[in-house]
Amino acid sequence: MELSLHRLRMLQEFSRRGTVTRAAAALQYTPSAVSQQLSALEREVGVALFEQVGRRLRLTPDGRILAQHAARILSAEEQARTALERAQAVVTAELTIGLVATVAASLLPSTLRILRAQEPGISVRTREVSPEVALEAVSDGEFDMTFVLDYPETPVSLNLGLRSTVVAVEQLYLVTSKDQGVVDDPVDLADFATHDWIASGETTDFGRAFLTTCRRAGFEPRIRHQIDGQSTAMAMAAEGLGVTLIADLGLTPRPENAAILRVESPPLRRLLLVRRGSTADRPSEEAFVGAVVEAAVRCGISPRTHTP
């Protein structure tokens, strides 16, 4: 009996998610493709792994046994890959990285240039991902690592299988229009309590952190424009449609008419790289982390500079 790692990974996802549709979405396959591969796995092992219960498919006792072993086999495969990388004189590997929008536009290009110069054998693939699914994508093996924004007001909660590294610390600035007149900084956020605000909604981590920051300054912000994208929010603020808070990585490029003002006791946020604990000593991942940290130093947002 030969077991396919590819099919075992599908079995593991089915065990985690409970349905073929959800497993297919996590693996970025069609449900019919996953069903075909699971049927092929069942034929390979020669025992029933699934049973129909009403309209749903579920694992049989034998299926649950194999799913448990699949997790161990896939973990051992990761460990073997790490060991092979460590044995190489020149690291050759491919990494898949999850991105948040501000990192993709600012820190990533510098990171990839540094990594290419230091470790040309490492190939990086990236995909923008929403914060809500980023950690799950790493846990499930869809990404090797992902960038995550961590706010003191709404800290990231990691499961036991994940490990994070602080690679940058940003502060938030108040952005308004130069047409509003000259304002000396640093500014007190409370002085803008009666202004219209441009900000994310409270369903996002940034939105919740923004609301907490304003409430600590003693006011409830009047959000006139609910905008999640920092570049859009800054462009609207530059046109005098309200004021907004923007972090370091979101300040480039900036509209010509945008006034960037420091804030007294500025709110900070951390940029984390999250990966699985089972691959934490993988040389290619360590090289990528090092490149990000060096890029953050060049951008002036080194974690050694700020203390959240």
- Has residue 307 got a pLDDT over 60? no
Tell me: the pLDDT tens digits for 6-43? 888 888 888 888 888 888 877 778 888 888 889 988 88
pLDDT score, position 225 = 96
- Which residues sit opposite 269 in a β-bridge? 170
Specify the amino acid at residue 203: T
- Percent of the chain predicted with pLDDT > 90: 42
Contact at 8 Å (CB) between 277 and 163? Answer: yes
Specify the amino acid at residue 293: V
User: Shortest CA distance to 245 belongs to which of 276, 267, 219, 218?
Assistant: 267
pTM exceeding the 0.95 threshold for the entire prediction: no
**Quick one: tokens of 75?**
């973990």
Side-chain-side CA neighbours of 71 within 13 Å: the count stands at 13
What is the four-CA torsion angle of 129, 132, 136, 142, rounded to 10 degrees? -10
Mean pLDDT of the chain: 87
Q: Tell me which of 18-27, 115-124, 265-274, 287-296 is least confident.
A: 18-27
Mean pLDDT of 185-197: 94
Tell me the C-alpha distance between 213 and 302, whole Å.
Answer: 23
DSSP of 95-160: EEEEE-HHHHHTHHHHHHHHHHHH-TTEEEEEEE--HHHHHHHHHTTS-SEEEEEEBTTB-----T
Mean pLDDT of 228-239: 92
pLDDT score, position 229 = 86
Tell me: the pLDDT tens digits for 120-156? 999 999 998 887 788 888 887 789 999 999 987 777 8
**Quick one: tokens of 172?**
């938030």
pLDDT score, position 160 = 65
- Has residue 306 got a pLDDT over 80? no
Domains in the chain with CATH codes: 5-85 (1.10.10.10), 91-308 (3.40.190.290)
Is residue 86 exposed (0-12), middle (13-18) or buried (19+ Cβ within 10 Å)? exposed
- Top-confidence residue, 292 or 69: 292
pLDDT score, position 224 = 96
- Percent of the chain predicted with pLDDT > 70: 96
Side-chain-side CA neighbours of 68 within 13 Å: the count stands at 6
